[in-house]
Every structure is written in structure tokens, then in C-alpha cells.
């Protein structure tokens, strides 16, 4: 699939490992919570890419039952530290 090839190319081009920011004491408020689809739109990527990043522990998330939740505040900070992951 092209998504995986693109990710592999990006990983090879950027040898830096993405900086992770997570806090076990923080849980996003309702206004701060994002879905996988919203995160994909924020980063300009596909939902499958976000799922892969989550599985590989590249981006911070919270798991509530079967549904992953993301903090907009944490992802904004994460994106500012890892601008190579964001597309225009």
C-alpha cells in the first residue's frame, strides 16, 4: 500500500526518532479530546497512518475500552516538536 511505502521513505529520510510526550496524570477534557479521523486531518495523513503511529507508540493517546482518544493539546505540542510528521 502506498501509505506504508511513504512512511518508510519518511523514516529513512529523517533518522531522528519522534519525540514522545505523555503524562499519565493528564486526561483530556471533552473539549480537548480528538478522534482518529480528526487527528488524521490535523496531521494531513490517513487514518491508517494514525493507527500505525499509535501501534508504534509514535503519538500520545489514551485507550478507553476499544476506542482511542487523543489530546489536542498534547498533539499540538508533539507536532511542534516533530514537524517532519506534519504535511501542509
Q: What is the pLDDT of residues 10-64, one digit of tens each?
A: 444 444 555 444 445 668 888 999 999 999 999 999 999 999 999 999 999 998 8
**pLDDT at position 85, please?**
78
Catalogue the long-range contacts made by 48-53 (C-beta closer than 8 Å, 24 or more residues apart).
48/1, 48/3, 49/3, 49/7, 52/3, 52/4, 52/7, 53/85
Domains and CATH numbers, the chain: 31-81 (1.10.10)
**pLDDT at position 86, please?**
77
Rounded mean pLDDT of 68-76?
93
Residue 2: all three cell numbers together: 502506498
Q: Categorize the per-residue pLDDT at 87 as very low, low, confident or very high, splitting at 50, 70 and 90.
A: confident
Q: What are phi and psi of 26, to 5 degrees?
A: -105, 135
**pLDDT at position 4, please?**
38
Amino acid at each position: 500500500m502506498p501509505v506504508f511505502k511513504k512512511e518508510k521513505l519518511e523514516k529513512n529520510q529523517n533518522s531522528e526518532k519522534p519525540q514522545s510526550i505523555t503524562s499519565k496524570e493528564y486526561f483530556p477534557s471533552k473539549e480537548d479530546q480528538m478522534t482518529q479521523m480528526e487527528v488524521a486531518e490535523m496531521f494531513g495523513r490517513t487514518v491508517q497512518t494514525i493507527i500505525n503511529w499509535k501501534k508504534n507508540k509514535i503519538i500520545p493517546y489514551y485507550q478507553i475500552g476499544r476506542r482511542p482518544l487523543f489530546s489536542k493539546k498534547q498533539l499540538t505540542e508533539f507536532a511542534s516538536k516533530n514537524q517532519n510528521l506534519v504535511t501542509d
